[in-house]
Amino acid sequence: MSNISKYLVGGAVRDRLLGQPVYDRDWVVVGASPEQMVELGYEPVGKDFPVFIDKKTGEEHALARTERKTAKGYQGFQFSTSQDITLEEDLARRDLTINAMAETEEGKLIDPFNGQADLKLGVLRHVSDAFAEDPVRILRAARFAARFNFTIAPETLALMKKMVSNGEVNALVPERVWAETHKALTTDCPHLFFKILRDCGALACIMPEVDALFGIPQTAKYHPEIDTGIHTLMAVEQAAKLTPDTMVRFSALVHDLGKGSTPAEILPSHRGHELAGLPLIKQLCERLKVPKKYQSLALAVGEYHLHMHKMYELKAQTVLKMLEKTRSLMDNERAQQIAFSCIADARGRTGFEQRDYSQAELYLKFQRAAQDVNAGEIASQYKGGEQIQQAIRLARLERIKQVQKSAVA
């Protein structure tokens, strides 16, 4: 077994070179058979191809392998794990040069595809034309761009466009699309994920509701010189600066979906596109199997974000209704999520990025004031349930009105 060698590969090598924390270490083993790995004490866990766990470290060790495309989609592959497969052959099947580096156990870098140079350039480049065989790689490339704020090499973007035109993207399953989208939403630059998907044409295939926003002008009151698609990406960018909360970032992405389907003459009324967006948000969420809590917040923001912009003008009854309908009244976290989502919307325009948006703070003051009403004390003063509810509501309205007077003063 002296011809067996193992190498640290992939993200662990990449992240170390970037000076980032390394959380997961994956290894490739060259020259071994599955039987030899078991003899060496490794525990087999792989289903599609041999993967083994080092019982001492818990780290994955995969046999070096090659793969061959046998059918459309990301599952249409046939793998070979012959003992003759070299490390370079294993690295050649990987998606991007920055992910196709390895290290010996002594820490010597092995970089046959110049991944370190691309790391320094901040460029994502495909290793080979085999990139085109797996549509998930489009999502991964866009996600890495969002994570590292890298650009896509022109030849790689051209290949991604070709994959879209060939219909490979249609083989993506909803669960994988959402999984990659969610990972992208956790990055520092999530807007780049959606921008790159649009640049290669994939956005129209997997999120047509979002893609339809490009070319739709913003309403004259708010910023007519940019279209709604650009505004949406800017809102996602602002949301990422405000909070790591991926639910807020997703709500920023879908808050204006109604504008993609609302006739232009209705847009100035605002309420038309707010309501038109709700079925589109539901449609996108259900198709991609987005978690219900994301859908719930997105629907609340979609329906009421323009109410937030007019917070100083709203009647007390409307404010209370908004608190109730958005489920913010007794939920401080939800109220903050609504506020952040609307701040992102307000700042998602050129020149407005640092805008002082006091409407959101006023909304939170209303929420705290209404929440402070002692419902139990009021309930002790009445017998009927309807009377109790009415008295609590009147008390909350009075608190809201008091805050309104202070805001005007």
Tell me the fold of 5-121.
Answer: Beta Polymerase; domain 2 (3.30.460)
Q: State if pTM tops 0.85.
A: yes
DSSP, collapsed to helix, strand or coil, labels residue 201 as coil
Radius of gyration for the chain, computed over Cα atoms and rounded to the nearest angstrom: 26
Quote the CA–CA distance of 45 and 80 in Å, as a whole number. Answer: 17
Q: Answer whether 101's CB lies under 8 Å from 111's CB.
A: yes
Write down the pLDDT at residue 277. 86
Write down the pLDDT at residue 70. 54
Quote the CA–CA distance of 181 and 186 in Å, as a whole number. Answer: 9
Quote the CA–CA distance of 338 and 299 in Å, as a whole number. Answer: 11
Write down the pLDDT at residue 389. 87
Q: Mean pLDDT, 10 residues at a time, over the chain (409 residues)?
A: 82 94 90 88 79 88 78 58 86 94 94 97 95 94 98 98 94 95 98 98 97 82 72 97 98 93 52 77 97 98 94 96 96 98 93 88 97 87 82 94 86
Q: Which helix (H) or strand (E) holds 301?
A: helix 292-309
Tokens of 8: 């640290």
Write down the pLDDT at residue 268. 46
DSSP 312: T
Write down the pLDDT at residue 255. 96
CB atoms < 10 A from the CB of 67, how many? 16
Got the DSSP string for 329-383? TT-HHHHHHHHHHHHHHHH-STT-TT---HHHHHHHHHHHHHHTS-HHHHHTT-S
Q: Where are the domains of the chain?
A: 5-121, 372-409
Sign of the torsion formed by the C-alpha atoms of 375, 380, 384 and 390 = negative
Phi, psi for residue 9 in degrees, rounded to 5 = -135, 165
Q: Which residues contact 186 (CB under 8 A, 6 or more apart)?
A: 244, 246
Q: How many helices (H) and strands (E) does the chain have?
A: 19, 11
43 beta partners: 53
Write down the pLDDT at residue 301. 97
Tokens of 294: 């994301």
Tokens of 279: 């079925």
Do you know the residue count of the chain? Answer: 409
Tokens of 388: 């109790």
Tokens of 139: 């999502």
Using DSSP bridges, classify how beta strands 77-80 and 66-69 pair: parallel, antiparallel or unpaired: antiparallel
